[in-house]
Amino acid sequence: MDKLEVFGARKLKGNVHISGSKNAALPILAASILSNKKIILNNLPNVKDIKTMIKLLESIGSIIKYSKKKNSITIQNKNKIKTFASYNLVKTMRAGILVLGPMLARYGNAKVSTPGGCTIGVRPIDIHLKALAKLGVNYKIVDGYVHAKSKKKLKGTKIKFPKISVGATENLIIASSMAEGTSILSNCAIEPEIKDLINFINCIGGKIKWIGKRTLKIQGVNNFKEAKYNIMPDRIEAGTYLIAAAVTEGKLKISGINPNIIRTEIEIFKKLGLKIKIEKNQINIIGTKDIKSINLKTSPYPGFPTDLQAQLMVLLCKSKKLSIISEEIFENRFMHVAELNRMGAKIKTKGNKAFIEGNTNFKSAELMATDLRASVSLILAALIAKGKTTINRIYHLDRGYEQIEKKLRKVGAKIRRVS
């Protein structure tokens, strides 16, 4: 199994270009099931989760062609595809559940594996299923599979999500786009990736519009048209590299990202003492020794993202005073804490709160990576620790960061993959 070796205590300097967003590309790939017309997707990130979603599409009969242009594919669905998503493909990537909505909308039946347990929390799919039932879907769960059917075409209706869920909002946007009549979805997630999904569906002929801050009006359509679409840049990757500059007291230009979509993060980084200059599609950051402390909660967009919580924690270890992070989205997303403490951090957790004492001089160690963002937080700590840090079990990292070693090496990190 691959591992990473990082030789730390080097300041990062230079330019990092941000790849396409994994969490925008996954629902867009799922939504392609709605159409039997040619779809060209550009700026797909070259990461494992995207390859898995493409495999899933191929397994149901989509024809995928890789273009000569980097990170671009053409999808052509037949009139009839299989409405089955196997456990083997869905087990490593929870976004597999997003094929349920489009399969039901187009064919009225689907058998999709439930995504199974996950290291960051239980992550049920009850909100997805109850909302789909309101569109006329009957379902039961047998042997780990959701068996879902609707007697007639899905029928648009009013749905208020009981809790903000990114995935459930996406599944219902996709399904409602091909349901009969109008759907009003309220209490929706409003992450930029949701907006990208809506832009994509509208680009292939959907009729979706915002009628309130968290409310969508969706007019179902029967047929979609050919289209070409560019996936948005990855805001979590951008945030991760901003923190990489900050922890190493380096100086980075983060390019290819619209700064407006990470305004909350930028404001927080400024409060922590970092110098940030914003240009069009570029953010310049200069790190500092004097990191301030903070008391912060993760929350749905536009709040501070749970997907940057682990990375921020590494930065807060450098502060002189106590910081507190409350993880409000997932119940078990502090798995990086034990490994960071092994590197010399002084972090205690109680329930969903982490108390970060600060004043940490990270020391190199042999580490074990857990989930995607926890894995990258260990790289960040390793970048500042003197000596060689070895990070084992990095397959989660490959699910979501395109060419991370190459991008880091280009800006001065000493990091290598050992296979």
Binding residues vs ligand EPZ (CB under 6 A): 23, 26, 94-95, 121-128, 163, 165-168, 189, 306-307, 329-330, 372-373, 400
Q: How do strand 353-356 and strand 366-368 relate by DSSP bridges?
A: unpaired
Closer residue to ligand EPZ (CB): 253 or 373? 373
Pairs from 117-125 (Cβ < 8 Å, separation ≥ 24):
118/94, 118/371, 119/332, 119/335, 119/370, 119/371, 120/330, 120/332, 120/333, 120/335, 120/371, 121/330, 121/331, 121/332, 121/333, 122/331, 123/94, 123/330, 125/97, 125/167, 125/168
Residues 46, 117 contacting (CB under 8 angstroms): no
Residues 15, 252 contacting (CB under 8 angstroms): yes
Provide, rounded to whole angstroms, the least separation between the CB of residue 331 and ligand EPZ: 7
- Among 257, 281, 259, smallest CA distance to 270 is for 259
Provide, rounded to whole angstroms, the least separation between the CB of residue 335 and ligand EPZ: 12
Closer residue to ligand EPZ (CB): 133 or 286? 133
Provide, rounded to whole angstroms, the least separation between the CB of residue 275 and ligand EPZ: 28
Provide, rounded to whole angstroms, the least separation between the CB of residue 258 and ligand EPZ: 18
Closer residue to ligand EPZ (CB): 319 or 398? 398
Question: In whole angstroms, how large is the CA radius of gyration of the chain?
Answer: 21
The H or E element that residue 13 is part of is: strand 13-17
Contacts of 95 (CB under 8 A, 6+ apart): 23, 26, 27, 30, 49, 53, 167
The H or E element that residue 353 is part of is: strand 353-356
Closer residue to ligand EPZ (CB): 307 or 405? 307
Q: How do strand 414-418 and strand 347-350 relate by DSSP bridges?
A: unpaired
Closer residue to ligand EPZ (CB): 189 or 276? 189
Q: Note if 118 is an active site residue.
A: yes
Active-site hit among 118, 188, 203, 317: 118
Provide, rounded to whole angstroms, the least separation between the CB of residue 126 and ligand EPZ: 5
Provide, rounded to whole angstroms, the least separation between the CB of residue 144 and ligand EPZ: 16
Closer residue to ligand EPZ (CB): 170 or 405? 170
Please state the separation of Cα 211 from the chain's center in Å.
25
Catalytic residue set: 118
